[in-house]
Structure 1
């Protein structure tokens, strides 16, 4: 089993445009953990 630490991965900050939740995500298809929407934008 691979032990992956999220702090070592290149996570990006996102904001959900549907519910307003801010969260960290990784990958090409980021989904809001609160409402499962794909309508998210990357924050700088």
Structure 2
């Protein structure tokens, strides 16, 4: 799953909405990074 947000906080909120309560529980495919003014990441669901 790819998450795109305007802030890192937005990524955290999107992950919480998907059931991830702690960032340590997330299986990252691509860690959060800021590119072209947007935060993006990829996680395994």
What interval of TM-score do these two structures reach, taking the shorter chain for normalisation?
Answer: under 0.3
Q: Which has the higher contact order (CA 8 A, sep 6+)?
A: 2
TM-score scaled by length of structure 2: 0.22
Q: Which has the larger radius of gyration?
A: 1
Which protein has the bigger helix share? 2
Which protein has the bigger strand share? 2
TM-score scaled by length of structure 1: 0.22
